[in-house]
Amino acid sequence: MPLYLCRAEALLSSENALPRSYNTSYIQVEASPWLQPSVIYHSSAHAMWPTGGGDPWPPASVAGSVTAALLIAAVIARFIIIPHLRSSSGINKPRQRGTPAASGGAAGSSGAARVPAGSLGWPVVGETPAFILAAYSARPESFVERRRVLYGSKVFTSHLWGSPAVVSSDPEVSRAVLQADASAFVPWYPRSLMELMGESSILVLGGALQRRVHGLAGAFFKSPQLKARVTADMQRRVAAAMDAWRRDAGGAATVRVQDEAKSIVFEILVKALIGLDEGHEMQYLRQQFKEFIAGLISLPIKVPGTQLYRSLKAKKRMTKLIQKIIQEKRRKMVTECEDHPHVTTHHPRDMIDVLLGNGSDELTDELISDNMIDFMIPAEDSVPVLITLAVKYLSECPLALQQLEEENMELKMRKSGMGETLEWTDYMSLTFTQHVITETLRMGNIINGIMRKAVRDVEVRGHLIPKGWRVLVYFRAVHLDAAVHGDPHAFNPWRWTEKERPDVATTGGGGSFTPFGGGQRLCPGLDLARLEASIFLHHLVTGFRWAAEEDAVVNFPTVRLRRGMPIAVTPRT
């Protein structure tokens, strides 16, 4: 039972004579509406179900009790033991609206910038527990929405992941942060993720080296040559998977879209990155990658038995395999140069070829292997989840599914009648299909937001972000803001028909649509993500009809479908 329904049951029960009074005789505690800690209480009369009920008892109830105890301890620490904590640390309580910022603002500022109104929450933990509670709910954006109403602004101060932070759900402020260079903001990630990525990851690199790697990757991923190869590989792999669906159940089968999409997209992307074909090494790499990615959001404890420790070991095994491929390619390049000294143009087959061909001494084997692993992450999360969410939303919107089917069937019959195979340009020309993908990206919010760290006092559209503070650019709150996108919780692909197709994340109204990030760190693979999703959807709707089973979206720590989106497919005749 959802927590808010359990709470209503406890307040309305006739067994609680004064339901809104504090009375420990029947355990009625009015919790903070922002934190809502659970209380463990097993009532045979069912008058109080603060954490649900049944067998097994929800494990979250234990966590809730511990959280409540920690918060009580934090209150004692805050007001009795260490009342001078903030003043002695140099971190002052956020100013109320209208209070000027202290001296030392951003260079070139008018001096009128102010730290946004807000609260640093509890000592040490700040507002992180409230953020996580919201993130686990069906509406993670509620954390931002409540504070937006409370402070009267889409930009406010909080304290998240151990640091004071400014949270932005303002499209213009968010766009300015994304467009800023490393002289103002640098990337910030949780410690476990930083540990796994390493200092040479494109996610944390800065300056000229980051621009070089990002530029090389972006140019390669957007190249017509790669798109043509990815299209051919994807068509072949999707066709093989769907043939298996037909065989497995004599013409009808139940498949989990999320699992199928992960398997297909991983193989396609790995081949584009490191040139590895299907086989034993591909399976080994995927096995290690699953262990690696499980530690990206984990406790930063690196001892045997922990997830972070296992993930680091898995990364070492992946690195060994990838560096073997890099060294083989280096030897091959030397041999080709010796055999054909007059040939100066080489056509890269994969991303490793692109980086090796750049000839920069900074692009070491370690840097290349680390970034190949980083570039594999969308194959596990972003693209498969995009495909899965599209199937879910289409299943819930028959009109959109019908129009998508008509558009794709028309293309299939036209190309078949001409005796031609589909090219990548054909898939990207499917206008309504692209609208479906765009709307899925807006509603699904596969990337909820990004965090940056201010390297100096920075003024952004009248808001002062002090040096050392974090900035959370929260995409989800913008994408689901009724003032930006009307009726935001409705799946409506037609909303994009009157706009230019937002292939670039920073278009669509000054930061109002940013599913791929923005600025110098705009996701270089956004075109491939759209292409792969288009190919999968085309073959699904032209080859099958399906009935979707009930499933729910899980938003934290990463977006996914709880059951993997099972659908019962029936081949078209």
Bridge-based pairing state of the strands 470-474 and 163-168 = parallel
Question: Phi, psi (5° rounding) for residue 285?
Answer: -65, -40
Q: Are 204 and 195 in contact (CB under 8 A)?
A: no
C-alpha distances out from residue 359 to 105, 210, 275, 323, 333, Å: 42, 16, 19, 17, 11
SS3 375: helix
- Largest Cα separation within the chain, whole Å, is 93
CB-side exposure of 341: number of CA atoms within 13 Å?
A: 1
**Nearest 5 degrees, angle CA 287-CA 384-CA 279?**
35
Cβ-defined contacts of 487-493 (< 8 Å, 24+): 488/443, 489/443, 491/393, 491/396, 491/397, 491/400, 491/439, 491/440, 491/443, 492/439, 493/400, 493/432, 493/435, 493/436, 493/438, 493/439
Nearest to 524 by CA among 297, 218, 233: 218
Facing residues of 554 across strands?
Answer: 560
Q: Residue 529 has what DSSP assignment?
A: H
Nearest to 205 by CA among 356, 325, 323, 368: 368
Q: Are 192 and 300 in contact (CB under 8 A)?
A: yes
End-to-end CA distance of the chain: 43
d(CA 170, CA 156): 10
Nearest to 506 by CA among 489, 515, 518: 518
Q: Is 523 annotated as a binding residue?
A: yes
Burial letters for 325-350: b for 16+ Cβ neighbours within 10 Å, e otherwise?
bbeebeeeeeeeeeeeeeeeeeebeb
Strand ranges inside 466-511, DSSP E? 470-474
Binding residues for heme: 523
Known binding-site positions: 523
